[in-house]
Structure 1
């Protein structure tokens, strides 16, 4: 939390006085004693993350293959391939378990 000098509008710094802490301006003689605990917390708003796989609609028309789910050991999984890196890198394969109770997602 920043406090500003009412005289010259510069930022006040906290310094230790003779009996208490005080706010002091470094450019003018303004001083204000701290009489109570001052605290303020501001949490930044997180930006929304885009679903790079296209959301739930991306899994509607995909093929399935014989791939074992690492969570439930089901032997079939839906898959799709997306170019996530530069063009000279191989495509990333994303899997989703065909078992509707599981639905685990992983990549290869």
Structure 2
């Protein structure tokens, strides 16, 4: 059922149910009108977008560096640079496997 407006005061007419018929009644001025014709409502049905669509596997898309994982043998890793904590240290650089997520530290070891 569509939205109807009062012919007198131009307010929205809410439908009210009777035992026999359906009426629309204006709450402001009291105008009653019987609904006799069939109402047709059109509604667009949108396809629900599935969350995570397009992710076919669990591989890390940022793993582009050629490195063989010490745990699973996968040949791509992500480079993660954590920077330095103190001025006399080297950067902390890790390689994270693109398949299993195993991380290993690379670079010079200080201490």
Q: TM-score of the superposition, structure 1-length normalised?
A: 0.39
